[in-house]
Structure 1
């Protein structure tokens, strides 16, 4: 995670200038950009109920791109569905990735902070990292891993766009 700390964490102060809605959009953009980085592909990487839960969030945003974040009923439903996920073996990356969405929907409507958004971005990167590398990981290992590099590049691009 040292690479993420070096390349992405410094944007935290700039994120404080954004309101909750753009921060939530940024988080979900990062979630969407992280999905293609999983190997095997996302729909095989996650158990079916977990995959469907993530897909429900992406579908909500596709249906209501400007108001998805304000849907308190969906947030309650998402968290209830999360609590009911079956206790099945999952890859190590599944936990941090789902926690991004849990943090997002646990935040009171209109009260997502820059720190919370940054934690979500960190968890997205962590999910990629643990899906790619195991054991004692160095910054050099992260820099040499194509998926870690792609995750950092995607997050950097999305951050710069959000900060516009």
Structure 2
């Protein structure tokens, strides 16, 4: 199994399948606009701009499980665009932990262990997914996106 069979919500609420990105590497991030780490939006956008022509897709998934997100997904997406210049796809607000965790985050955490086991510790946990839909990297909230840019380059060169 890989991520391609999973449907995710757009910020508007309609769903689509991640199979749309089949053959492309993805950087999937649980985000929050009111988080102290929200300055990472700038670095995530830079990675997206630098590598989107090579196929990289950055996908932001707001979560309010840590009480640092706006209550409306469309408002959160707009805040990301206006405050941080985000152009990569932002999605509906999802749970990332617990029984109500979205299937995408259950898959991501089941297939990569972090410092606290499979549980997501905080906002801005990042998952690198290869061109075949497999989780190949997990980076913690304080890991700045530029710190694992080499992993993205290596993956893009291996296609």
Structure 1 or 2: more strand by fraction: 2
Higher relative contact order (CA 8 A, sep 6+): 1
Report the TM-score, using the length of structure 1 for normalisation.
0.23
Report the TM-score, using the length of structure 2 for normalisation.
0.24
Structure 1 or 2: more helix by fraction: 1
If you compute each CA radius of gyration, which structure gives the higher value, 1 or 2? 1
